Structure formats: structure tokens, C-alpha cells
A and B are shown apart, each in its own frame.
Chain A
Amino acid sequence: QLQLQESGPGLVKPSETLSLTCTVSGGSISSNSHFWGWIRQPPGQGLEWIANIYYGGTTYYNPSLKSRVTISVDTSKNQFSLKLSSVTAADTAVYYCARRIYSGHVDYWGQGTLVTVSS
């Protein structure tokens, strides 16, 4: 059974960089049938797609965040990562990592991790 697990600091200071890692188990991140990505949800609000990456390195970013976001993949560790720079309180959210079928839908989600931006 595929599992995705987010990890990273739960508290980040304003203007700093948020860094999260998603570890994939029960399957290979080097699949030619899937994208890997990040989705976030501010407290009490809806879902916002952030970015996707293919194991070969092809990336897609939400234009609203593109200038601050970097997604990367480490196939040797079966992990992919998110960096979001210059964070503000508006970036406080539960961050989910997820698997997306190539040209298809999201079928697996991590449990999510709350990141709070505060001094």
C-alpha cells in the first residue's frame, strides 16, 4: 500500500523559507506513470494546488506562487521536497503531499502537516 509522509518544521518565521519533505513508501517515486506534488489548505479554508514534479525533473507550478516555490525530487531517497521562500502569515496552512496519475487525478495523499508562520 502506497504511503506518503510529510516532514519538516511546524513553525517558520516570517520572511524565512519553508522546507518540507515527502517520503514515499510502498512504491517507487521513479514511476513513469505518476507526478508528485504539494497541495495546501489554510485553517478553515479550501484547497490550493502548489506544484507537481515528475521523477525526471519536469515541474509545474501554480503561477500565484511560482516566484517563491521550488519543488525537487531525490530518487535515491524516494523523496520529494518543497521550498517556499519569503513566507508570511498567509502561508500558514496544512501542507499535503500527494501522488497524481500522469495526466490524471490525485489518488494518494499524505496525512498533512501544519506549518505556522509566526515570529
Chain B
Amino acid sequence: DIQMTQSPSSLSASVGDRVTITCRASQGISNYLAWFQQRPGKAPKSLIYGASSLQSGVPSKFSGSGSGTDFTLTISSLQPEDFTTYYCQQYYSYPITFGQGTRLEIK
């Protein structure tokens, strides 16, 4: 199985800040990497696929980059609704695996 490791596990930031979350795969996954946002009590929402492609309807404040084993999700101009949990997921090979999540908190 491909292990996905996110860092940090939690992150404190202020409204208006820009933050970056990292996801590392235990082996190369090309660009078969997605990012999801999950608010409490809600289903995950697709943000980024193909490591850097924005899902339709997702604001451009979200951006992704990376290839191979190292990936980043950057969120600019943080708003109160952005302070929630983010997950990466690899779909390069079965079993599909997720990172453990990064909780973004208001400082």
C-alpha cells in the first residue's frame, strides 16, 4: 500500500494569511493526487485533482502543486470558512489511500 503522510497535522493561522500543507507519498504516484476539504459533520469536498487542477466551482485561492512523491496545497487569503480539515488522497494504485488530515485552526 502507498502511505500518504501529511504535515503538519494541525496548523494555526490568521484570517488573511496564506498557508501551505504538504503531502508526501511513500512511493512515486506521478500526479495522481487529490485534495479534499471537510467541514465538521459534512462529507469531504473535492478541491484539487491531478495534483494541480482545480475542481469546477472551487475558488482560485486554492492551488496545488507537486509530482512524484511530494505535493502541496496552498490556500491564500484565509477566510473563516477555510478553517477546517484537509485531506490528500492518492489514486495512482489500489488500495486508494488518504493522508491522516491537517486541521487548520484560527490563531
Interface size on B, residues (CB 8 A): 22
Q: Give A36 to B98 CA distance when docked, in angstroms.
A: 17
B34: shortest Cβ distance to chain A, in Å? 4
Which one of B1, B45, B97, B101 contacts A109 once the chains associate, using CB atoms below 8 Å? B45
Determine the main DSSP class of B at the interface with A: loop
A77 at the binding interface (Cβ < 8 Å): no
A46 near B43 with CB under 8 A, answer no
Which one of B36, B91, B101 contacts A100 once the chains associate, using CB atoms below 8 Å? B91
Report chain B residues within 8 Å CB of A104: 49-50, 91
A60 near B94 with CB under 8 A, answer yes
Which single residue of chain B is at the shortest CB-CB distance from A100? Answer: B91
Which residues of B80-103 are within 8 A (CB) of A?
A: 87, 89, 91, 94-101
Binding site for B on A (CB under 8 A): 46-49, 52, 60-64, 96, 100, 103-112
- Excluding A52-B94, A61-B95, A108-B46, 14 further A-B contacts by CB distance (< 8 Å) are A46-B99, A46-B100, A47-B44, A49-B98, A52-B96, A62-B95, A100-B91, A105-B49, A105-B50, A107-B49, A107-B55, A109-B44, A109-B46, A112-B43
Closest 10 CB pairs between A and B?
Answer: A105-B49, A109-B43, A49-B96, A105-B34, A47-B98, A62-B95, A60-B94, A46-B100, A46-B101, A112-B43
